[in-house]
Amino acid sequence: MTNEVFGRPIEGEIRHEYTQQDDPMAFINALDEVLNYPGVIEYKWTQYTPYWNDGEECEFTVMTDWHAGVKLEFGDEDSGEMGDGFYTWYDINRRNELNGVNLSELQTKLTILAGKMGNGSHEAWLKETFGDHATVTATKEGFKVEFYDHD
């Protein structure tokens, strides 16, 4: 961290409100565990700073609830909370199987990934890499980022 900007000194303590940040490879490895699971097509999440927060300061967050999910080869095309074919962590963890496929290993992998996404330890680089107000869709080949409009 520098103590100057454009050749001008900065005095005082500079605070960054992020929790302790982990190595991004820990996130990528957990994501790859999900993406490499047989039948997984892609994984999608949203990340944004809310517009309001009941009087508290709004903070950037990576969503792991209804705004994150996995698309499966053996899933239903119009399934999931949003009817877009993406099953949330909750959808997967509520059932033992889907269309005859056992989900226990996938449940474990999604739980690990959701933990890494939801604990704040990757927010700084996720925001820097994919932006604020973004829907990110990950595949084995790469990432697609779209603007995310929310209330």
pLDDT tens for 116-125 read: 998 889 999 9
Q: How far apart are CA 103 and CA 115, in angstroms?
A: 18
CB-CB neighbours of 142 under 10 Å:
7
Burial class (CB in 10 A: 0-12, 13-18, 19+), 54: exposed
Residue pLDDT, tens place only, 29-82: 999 999 999 999 999 999 998 877 666 777 888 988 878 999 999 988 887 777
CA distance 48 to 107: 25
Closest by CA to 35, choosing from 123, 138, 144, is 138
Distance between CA atoms of residues 52 and 50, nearest Å: 5
Looking at domain 22-147, its CATH architecture is 2-Layer Sandwich (3.30)
What 8-state DSSP symbol labels residue 149?
A: -
Say what the pTM is: 0.83
